[in-house]
């Protein structure tokens, strides 16, 4: 019976995670599908189709109440923040990566669907927070986390011109959240892990999705111009910091509930 209970909880955990990944999973599915089969190329560029599909899917999520208005706000904020970074990163003078296909819906070197790729991360965090009823222990003051992510966002730009501070920022992140645990409810009781570990697992899945996306020509890095190669594992550091940025942005709409051994806990502003 114990084994059956464990397997049942694992199954429920997987189903809930898939539900939380609904938008990101759809976006990745459309990217892969249109790479191998896209009959509309003569009338609509593939990138534009992905952009319109993302908008339609978001509208359907809201229409059928599979997503809340607050979660939609997160997606809009992420889209704006991400597009600004994309405009900088894809500028001809920087060229950290490129979008090799044509598009109508875009600004400069950035097709507009790209913001949704980052929004998918924000959407996942907002949804998984609600679905698993997240609680926390030893969560640092939010003012500190906001200051940290501001410097993380700035470093995404400035490291092209001055020293890259990402490793220092990672050390600060580890120090700040070392004792923080996240409690998540799968069925009846809350399980827990360190928040740093949770971020690492999500960053790893994003890295896997990034490899799939570059393989199907959504964007390419300079070292992939001649032939596709796996994205270096070192890229995990960037995704880890992005996870932190995404998480702190979501705390703007989701209050941090403190875990108190089963008793209703206070909410941190």
- Tokens coding 94: 């920087």
pLDDT at 269: 45
DSSP conformational letter for 141: P
**What is the total count of domains within the chain?**
1
Containing 185, the helix (H) or strand (E) segment is: strand 181-185
Q: Which residues lie below 8 Å from residue 80, measured CB to CB, with a gap of 6+? A: 115
Q: How far apart are CA 70 and CA 264, in angstroms?
A: 23
CA 39 and chain centroid, separation: 30
Render pLDDT for 120-139 as a digit per residue (tens, 0 to 9).
998 899 999 999 999 999 99
Q: Does pLDDT of 117 surpass 70?
A: yes
Render pLDDT for 36-66 as a digit per residue (tens, 0 to 9).
999 999 999 999 999 999 999 999 999 998 8
Render pLDDT for 137-190 as a digit per residue (tens, 0 to 9).
999 999 999 999 999 999 999 999 999 999 999 999 999 999 999 999 998 888
Angle, helix 166-177 to helix 142-158, in steps of 10 degrees? 170
pLDDT at 46: 97
pLDDT at 229: 94
Q: Which residues lie below 8 Å from residue 77, measured CB to CB, with a gap of 6+? A: 122, 249
Q: How far apart are CA 193 and CA 126, in angstroms?
A: 18
| pLDDT tier for residue 268 given thresholds of 50, 70 and 90 | low
Angle, helix 114-131 to helix 46-63, in steps of 10 degrees? 30
Q: Range of 118's domain?
A: 2-268
pLDDT at 73: 84
pLDDT at 177: 97
CB atoms within 10 A of CB 85: 18
Q: Does pLDDT of 261 surpass 80?
A: no
Q: Does pLDDT of 214 surpass 70?
A: yes
Render pLDDT for 60-104 as a digit per residue (tens, 0 to 9).
999 998 888 888 888 888 889 899 999 999 999 999 999 999 999
Percentage of residues of the chain with pLDDT beyond 90? 76
- Tokens coding 236: 């995990």
pLDDT at 129: 94
**Average pLDDT of span 97-112:** 96
């Amino acid at each position: 019976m114990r084994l059956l209970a464990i397997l049942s909880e694992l199954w429920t955990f997987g189903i809930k995670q898939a539900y939380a990944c609904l938008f990101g999973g759809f976006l990745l599915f459309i990217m892969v599908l249109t790479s191998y089969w896209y009959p509309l190329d003569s009338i609509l560029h593939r990138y534009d189709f992905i952009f319109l599909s993302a908008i339609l899917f978001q509208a359907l999520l809201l229409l059928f109440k599979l997503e809340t208005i607050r979660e939609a706000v997160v997606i809009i904020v992420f889209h704006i923040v991400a597009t600004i970074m994309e405009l900088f990163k894809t500028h001809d003078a920087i060229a950290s990566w490129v979008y090799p296909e044509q598009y109508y819906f875009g600004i400069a070197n950035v097709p507009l669907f790209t913001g949704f790729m980052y929004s998918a991360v924000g959407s996942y965090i907002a949804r998984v927070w609600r679905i698993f009823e997240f609680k926390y222990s030893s969560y640092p003051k939010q003012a500190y986390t906001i200051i940290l992510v501001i410097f993380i966002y700035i470093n995404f730009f400035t490291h092209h011109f001055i020293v890259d501070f990402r490793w220092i920022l990672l050390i600060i992140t580890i120090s700040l959240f070392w004792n923080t645990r996240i409690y998540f409810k799968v069925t009846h009781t809350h399980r827990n892990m360190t928040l740093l570990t949770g971020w690492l697992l999500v960053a790893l899945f994003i890295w896997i999705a990034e490899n799939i996306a570059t393989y199907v020509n959504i964007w390419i890095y300079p070292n992939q111009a001649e032939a596709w190669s796996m994205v270096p594992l070192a890229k995990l550091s960037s995704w880890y910091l992005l996870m932190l940025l995404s998480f702190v942005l979501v705390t703007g709409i989701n209050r941090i509930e403190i875990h108190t051994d089963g008793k209703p806990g206070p909410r941190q502003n």
